[in-house]
């Protein structure tokens, strides 16, 4: 990654706050943003649309390499996600799609198929990348690496609030179970498992507000003279 724009990676389990925090840090720095989980979710949705089974590794790799997607900045500065011409910003956020994404993400060829697309997000003045393997595999030379966690119960509580605000009815215990299952699969897979990168700053956000987490990361950015 010599002579490339700087990268801050924020990895961690589902619901730890990576997406929220990454967006705020990117806004503050004026940097680009990569939500790598969205790519795995888009792949899961596209596979389902095309009737591709999760054991058809060859077809999944081709699909991953050629995913027809766009991240469009809308007027209210939110990002609209388009898959094969259809707006799927909300459709990819369900727990079902998240789980399916996590199953496909355990396949080495699928990860390989998405690798270059993720690296292409590095642009001046810098990139904040959120996911599971940003600091370990995709951007191993990132200048700041963060591993963001919170207890499964706290993450389930946050997700519950998020889903209730959208009008969804969800059971807390079922949510904790799903979150633990996804953690287990993401952390124990053979390829790019969810582990802190060497030298990552580990932040447990269970007792922290979003603003406190953002401030910790921005103070690292200030130390690196990005602010």
Ligand X SMILES: Nc1ncnc2c1ncn2[C@@H]1O[C@H](COP(=O)(O)OP(=O)(O)OP(=O)(O)O)[C@@H](O)[C@H]1O
Residues near ligand L45E5XJ5 (CB under 6 A): 14, 36-37, 40-41, 98, 101-102, 105, 131-134, 182, 186
**118 phi/psi in degrees, rounded to 5:** -70, -45
| Residue 56 neighbours by CB under 8 Å, 6+ apart | none
In a 13 Å sphere around the CA of 75, the CA atoms on its Cβ side amount to: 0
Q: The tokens of 79 are what?
A: 């990002």
Length of the chain in terms of residues written? 227
Q: Of the ranges 25-33, 71-79, 119-127, 157-165, which one interacts with ligand X (CB under 6 A)?
A: 157-165
Rg of the Cα atoms in the chain: 17
Q: The tokens of 12 are what?
A: 């961690």
Report what 36 binds from ligand X, ligand L45E5XJ5, none; CB cut-off 5-8 Å by kind.
ligand L45E5XJ5
In this chain, which residue has its C-beta nearest to ligand X? 17
> CB of 36: closest distance to ligand X in angstroms?
10
Does the annotation place 135 within a ligand binding site?
no
Report what 162 binds from ligand X, ligand L45E5XJ5, none; CB cut-off 5-8 Å by kind.
ligand X
Give residue 71's region: left, alpha or beta (phi > 0; psi -120 to 50): beta
Report what 209 binds from ligand X, ligand L45E5XJ5, none; CB cut-off 5-8 Å by kind.
ligand X
Q: Which is nearer to ligand L45E5XJ5, 44 or 217 (CB)?
A: 44
Give residue 78's region: left, alpha or beta (phi > 0; psi -120 to 50): beta
The conformation of residue 78, written as its DSSP 8-state character, comes to P
> CB of 219: closest distance to ligand X in angstroms?
16
> CB of 13: closest distance to ligand L45E5XJ5 in angstroms?
8
By the rule CB under 6 A, 123 interacts with ligand X: no
Question: Which residues are part of a known binding site for ATP?
Answer: 12-20
């Amino acid at each position: 990654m010599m002579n490339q724009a700087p990268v801050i990676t924020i990895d961690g389990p589902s619901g730890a706050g990576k997406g929220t925090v990454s967006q705020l840090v990117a806004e503050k720095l004026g940097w680009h943003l990569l939500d790598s989980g969205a790519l795995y979710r888009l792949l899961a949705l596209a596979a389902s649309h095309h009737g591709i089974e999760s054991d058809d590794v060859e077809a999944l790799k081709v699909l991953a390499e050629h995913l027809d997607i766009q991240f469009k900045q809308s007027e209210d500065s939110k990002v609209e996600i388009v898959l094969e011409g259809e707006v799927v910003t909300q459709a990819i956020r369900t727990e079902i799609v998240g789980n399916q994404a996590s199953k496909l993400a355990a396949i080495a060829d699928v990860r390989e198929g998405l690798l270059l697309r993720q690296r292409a997000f590095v642009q001046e003045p810098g990139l904040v990348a959120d996911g599971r393997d940003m600091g370990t595999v995709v951007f191993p030379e990132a200048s700041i690496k963060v591993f963001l966690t919170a207890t499964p119960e706290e993450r389930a509580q946050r997700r519950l609030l998020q889903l209730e605000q959208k009008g969804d009815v969800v059971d807390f215990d079922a949510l904790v179970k799903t979150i633990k299952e996804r953690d287990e699969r993401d952390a124990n897979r053979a390829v790019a498992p969810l582990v802190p990168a060497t030298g990552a700053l580990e932040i447990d956000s269970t007792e922290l507000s979003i603003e406190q987490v953002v401030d910790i990361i921005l103070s690292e950015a200030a130390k690196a003279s990005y602010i």
